[in-house]
Structure 1
Amino acid sequence: MANIIPFKAVRPTRDKVSLVAARSYQSYTLQQRESRLRDNPFSFLHIVNPGYKYDKEISGEARYNLVRNRYLEFKEDAIFIQDDQPCYYIYQITDRDRKVFNGVIAATSAEDYEKDIIKKHEDTIAHREVVFKEYLKTVGFNAEPVLLTYPDNDVIAQIIKVVQKERAEFEFTTTYRDTHLLWKIENKEQLRSIQHEFQQMETIYIADGHHRSASSYLLYKDLKTNNPSHTGNEPYNFFMSYLIPQSNLQIHEFHRVIKDLNGLTKEEFLIQLDMVYRIENRGHTPYKPTKTHHFSMYLDGEFYSLHLRKTVYKTESSLDALGTQILYKSILEPILGIHDLRNDKRIGYINGKDDIISMKNAVDNGAYKVGFGMMPVSIAEMKAIADDGLKMPPKSTFIEPKLRSGITIYEF
């Protein structure tokens, strides 16, 4: 029974939203950040990088306090406004490839996270959870929703369709050619219907934002413990999420690239590989796998297809059957000596939304020795691993839509 409620969002005004909205801070190059900070005084980047005002890098508690100050200044200057009544927000993103994503921005329960009603499929790093929890505690708001996915629901889909016949609260297109629209749902009957439909769902799944949701949960535990008058209705009991139906989720793969062959010659490496895979040299023709448990490999200017020998590799769990886990257990760890996928500097990851040629280029330019092309993880695989309480290897999924910061803000 998922507890997903409307809330009073803080939002940019209609005339400023296209200027405020920003991608995640890390996704910009240094030059891109400098350009936006210099030329756009309304960018949300000014809030998350408050040291720019003083031409100084600021970190830790001092930065958190300045983030809070910049945020309050945006509110004081009426760049941000807050809705008077709790709302659900229908949010539509149409990307440059004309793929359309429709979902609901809402407040989701930290207690549901604790009870595993909100299910996870990815490991988190404890240090990052704590750091971001302290950040949230100081700044007092969350500006980027966690991406959740739920079973397709006809009632919610119909409400979204009806609401989208009205004029959107705002509409803008980014320089990346993504178009964003947002509608408010204030109608009490529609609010009740959406909340009721979510309450009937036994589980929903984190698609993207495991660290943000984990940090929000830690914040909830802290504030609950330190509040003798805790009721369960305080804003800190919830965190902001963007919920989209499973059929609307887009999952891409991450290719793996490795800096060396762990002291092996090319021939020695291929012989060891042959023990676990049927190998076919595809020459210079780019090859991308099309079946489960098939991989592509790029080595020394040539592509190879790798087909797992299932008589050698045994699967005993949903995780064992996952492509990224198979590659790790059959090649990366035993042959190439990569044991720690999170911290080993010899491995890199390339977003599979880009063409397989991106992997080829990374090897051809000398940065890496060998690359492995993957199949995307399916929704069914992601759910099975989450349901079994297991965790995927890092960088198993590149999930869309990718959300902008500063469009809706949740205060606690």
Structure 2
Amino acid sequence: MAIIRPFKGLRPTPELAEKVAARPYDVLSAAEAKVEATGNPYAFYHVSKSEIDLPEGTDVYSQAVYDKAAENLQRFIQDGTLFQDNTPCYYIYKLVMNGRTQTGLVCASSVSDYNSGIIKKHEFTRPDKEKDRINNIKTTRAQTGNVFLAYNDVPEVNFLIEHWMTDHAPAYDFTAADGIQHSVWVVDEPAAVQNITTLFEKKVPFTYIADGHHRAASASLVQKEFEEKQLISADDPANFFLTTIFPASQLVILDYNRVVKDLNGLSKEALLSQLEYDFSVVPIGHMPQAPTMLHEFSMYLDGTWYRLLAEEGTYTTDPIGILDVTILSNNILDKILGIKDQRTDKRIDFVGGIRGLNELVKRVDSGEMKVAFALYPVTIQQLFDIADSGNVMPPKSTWFEPKLRDGLISHLI
């Protein structure tokens, strides 16, 4: 069963919460972070993307970046921008986007659960990204990137959270520039804290990583290193990592689309011809049209959108084989375009559905990319089925929105 713990969160003073809150470090570039932080000395980007405070051209994986993050974090603590709660707490984090609400529990999840499979995974991780987070955690002695977990609904947990929100005022409540409302409650009463801990231990057999595989893996590797060097005891905070756990019924997965730099030496006509072996191919005009069902794809090539419908025989019925990302990977990216490993091949890039289909048009029309593919979103049940089967999805299969903000709650180790 899932082991979670309350913790002494590091968080902003209420009047600065909106200024501190920053988009997750891995969804924007250093240049974008620098623009968003302009004129805002409180922005958590000074910690999560600390290269913005170093000379342009600085290697973002250099020790100087991690040292700057630690320096800026300590400055925020010393000047009162951030403070640490005196007692271990849980936190309730509600997000509202386009009228849809999702409410999660911010807690410290067990590294042991991650290692043993109680926390289930559905993606492989990349060593370079793991190393980046490891260096960040070790240097700052903080987990500032939240791991987004999901679980099958437990009515008792949902009731307790809803009851707390009804009876208590939020510590933070603001609407960010992108229109997403962020509200946070602090659960600090000992009885309520114990009830939550006990409910998860009795009612939640597994949790699932929805977003944050690299953050979770890095926390595990840091804990392992500290343990091997005998730097931590059994009750040390490093044995846990920062998570927010959401009930599955409240979650929606967006599409995660692909753009490719070239046609692997093929002409447009040759590509279309080869696609017809495995797909029904129909041109649908110049206006973007998203797929409307499973096994349907939208392709943008040379100013025209095409509807691709996978023929029977291009997929299997097992949890991995039935996924549209698998169909695309096997029958187009690998078979026709020669992309064998999407994690390492520099010819392919990924575009989260939140950016819309016009982002695909922009990147192809600019000449940066040659062709784009839009996919129908994976469902949360498909994600659970794959994780339960012990399999992993192809890279960049899911995009969750809305996203948690960095800086609102951090976990010191």
Query: Scaled by the length of structure 2, what TM-score is found?
Result: 0.92
Q: Distance in 1 between matches of 2:89 and 2:118?
A: 23
Tell me which residue corresponds to 1:197. Answer: 199
C-alpha change, 1:30 and 1:74, in structure 2 (3 Å) is closer
Tell me which residue corresponds to 1:287. Answer: 289
Q: Distance in 2 between matches of 1:61 and 1:359?
A: 35
| Equivalence map 1:222-301=2 (5 Å) | 222-227=225-230, 230-231=233-234, 233-301=235-303
Higher mean alpha-carbon deviation, 204-213 vs 389-398, is at 389-398
Q: Deviations over 1:325-365 (max 9, x none)?
A: 11110111111111121222222222223333332333333
Q: List runs of 5+ in structure 1 lacking aligned partners.
A: none
Q: List runs of 5+ in structure 2 lacking aligned partners.
A: none
Question: Aligned with 1:164: secondary structure?
Answer: helix
Q: Distance in 1 between matches of 2:50 and 2:277?
A: 55
C-alpha change, 1:94 and 1:84, in structure 2 (3 Å) is same
Q: Distance in 2 between matches of 1:404 and 1:220?
A: 24
Structure 2 letter corresponding to 1:383: F
C-alpha change, 1:346 and 1:246, in structure 2 (3 Å) is same
Higher mean alpha-carbon deviation, 42-51 vs 24-33, is at 24-33
Question: Aligned with 2:133: secondary structure?
Answer: helix
Tell me which residue corresponds to 2:334. Answer: 333
Q: Distance in 2 between matches of 1:44 and 1:143?
A: 9
Cα offset for 1:378? 0.6
C-alpha change, 1:347 and 1:61, in structure 2 (3 Å) is closer
- Does residue 183 in structure 1 map to residue 175 in structure 2? no
Q: Distance in 1 between matches of 2:347 and 2:55?
A: 35
Tell me which residue corresponds to 1:362. Answer: 363
Cα offset for 1:53? 5.7
Tell me which residue corresponds to 2:103. Answer: 102
Question: Aligned with 1:306: secondary structure?
Answer: strand
Cα offset for 1:54? 6.5
Structure 2 letter corresponding to 1:92: K
- Does residue 119 in structure 1 map to residue 116 in structure 2? no
Q: Deviations over 1:167-219 (max 9, x none)?
A: 11122222222221111112233222211221132211000000000000001
Q: Distance in 1 between matches of 2:123 and 2:227?
A: 26
Question: Aligned with 2:139: secondary structure?
Answer: helix
Tell me which residue corresponds to 2:173. Answer: 171
Q: Distance in 1 between matches of 2:306 and 2:51?
A: 49
Cα offset for 1:305? 1.8
Tell me which residue corresponds to 1:208. Answer: 211
Q: Distance in 2 between matches of 1:336 and 1:384?
A: 29
Higher mean alpha-carbon deviation, 169-178 vs 285-294, is at 285-294
Q: Deviations over 1:10-48 (max 9, x none)?
A: 111111111211123454555654445441222222234
Structure 1 letter corresponding to 2:15: D
Cα offset for 1:254? 1.5
Structure 2 letter corresponding to 1:213: A
Identity between Structure 1 and Structure 2 (%): 36
Query: Scaled by the length of structure 1, what TM-score is found?
Result: 0.92
Tell me which residue corresponds to 2:397. Answer: 396
Q: Deviations over 1:40-97 (max 9, x none)?
A: 22222223455666757476334333322322222122221111111110111122x2
RMSD: 2.2
Question: Aligned with 2:331: secondary structure?
Answer: helix
C-alpha change, 1:354 and 1:136, in structure 2 (3 Å) is closer
Q: Distance in 2 between matches of 1:405 and 1:236?
A: 19
Structure 1 letter corresponding to 2:184: L
